[in-house]
Structure 1
Amino acid sequence: MNKLVNDNLYETRNDLVKEITLLNDAQFNSKTDRDKWSIAQVCHHLVLVEKASIKAIAWGLKEIDSAQKERKKVDLILLDRTKKIKAPKIVEPDEGPFEVQQIVDLLRDSRKELMSFLSTIEDKSILAKKSMKHPALGELPLDQWVEQIYLHEQRHIEQIKEIKLLFI
């Protein structure tokens, strides 16, 4: 991965952890509405998305006829929070409750797994040449699958900040 992507993955994850570490478990699991996710659930969703992304990239790398697809403006799509994106069942969070440290550990572990997986790809340029269908973004080059991890996280950091304003 290029340095910018690595830096963005690192910085975004640090921002996320900063947003949640000072919360107590009650605040962390508090819901503003029955149909909305708690901050804990948002974070659990991010763990699930990262793990699912690793699997999708791995599948995409194995595909023989996975030709390069058109690049998308993933940042414009994911960072536009006026457009709601329904989470696929596979990345819907558990009800909880969760402990802050438990989620911080899960976030650390999923990021370690991602970085370890990416380090096994000898020729990173292959990521731009192969693609895989993303549930919200459609057919997406694999390098953009990596980018969408931190962009998706940035989207949810903004959501977490809004939730915090409602009860802190």
Structure 2
Amino acid sequence: MITETSTKDELFTAINQTLSEMVGLTSLLDENKINSIPYKDSWTAGQLIRHVTKSTNEMAKAMSMESKPAKRDPGEKILHLKKVFLDFSNKIKSPDFIVPEDGPYKKQTSIDEINKSFEQFKDSTNNANLNDILEGLPLGEITKLEALHFVLYHTQRHLQQMKKICDTLKIQE
């Protein structure tokens, strides 16, 4: 269980487990299903993977951004981020710059791109001071530690969405 005091390695393990499950679900889809709209107001599986990839790429860049030491508890906003992103009853509007393109998407290309984005994120996070503040993000002023938690919660949120998409597509077969 991830807590405010979890280590970087524990967080990476949790992110990797979540990502592996998402990739596993995607790999089980037929190639033509990755671009199928499963239900009203939903992204396709390909769009969902693209969204998570774009978000993770942006967070990898953020981890490499110039930053300054926090003048507050670096984990102060972790519980808030968890509450917001893991409340599945709450619909969250995505910032335009990480909204996925319409597609079409190729399954293996999508899987390769999301895996690459998480590797880049991990590399940039390994070199980051997690106690530093990031400014100018849609999340507001957050620390790099909080950003690491965001990536976990954001990915967990979309894993649940991917499960729903895959379940719906299987029913439609």
Unaligned runs of 5+ in 1: none
Cα distance in 2 for partners of 1:70, 1:4 equals 15
Give the corresponding residue for 2:88: 81
Give the corresponding residue for 2:3: none
User: Could you list the per-position Cα deviations for residues 95-124 of structure 1 after superposition, in whole angstroms to 9, with x for gaps in the alignment?
Assistant: 111111011100111111112212333xxx
CA contact (8 A) 1:45 1:92 kept: yes
The residue type paired with residue 97 of structure 2 is I
Unaligned runs of 5+ in 2: 1-6
The residue type paired with residue 165 of structure 1 is D
The residue type paired with residue 59 of structure 2 is S
The residue type paired with residue 91 of structure 1 is I
Give the corresponding residue for 2:46: 40
TM-score by length of 1: 0.85
Shift of 1:65: 7.3
Cα distance in 2 for partners of 1:153, 1:16 equals 9
Which of 157, 160, 164 does residue 158 from structure 1 map onto? 160
Cα RMSD over matched residues?
Answer: 2.0
Cα distance in 2 for partners of 1:30, 1:43 equals 13
Cα distance in 2 for partners of 1:116, 1:131 equals 17
Cα distance in 2 for partners of 1:3, 1:33 equals 37
Aligned length in residues: 161
User: Could you list the per-position Cα deviations for residues 63-115 of structure 1 after superposition, in whole angstroms to 9, with x for gaps in the alignment?
Assistant: 34764467121211111011111111110101111111011100111111112
Q: 1:64 to 1:149 in 2, by over 3 A?
A: closer
Give the corresponding residue for 2:121: 114
CA contact (8 A) 1:66 1:132 kept: no
TM-score by length of 2: 0.83
Which of 23, 28, 31 does residue 25 from structure 1 map onto? 31
After superposition, where does 1:39-58 map in structure 2 within 5 Å? 39-58=45-64
* Residue 71 of structure 1 pairs with residue 76 of structure 2: yes
CA contact (8 A) 2:63 2:124 kept: no
Shift of 1:33: 4.4
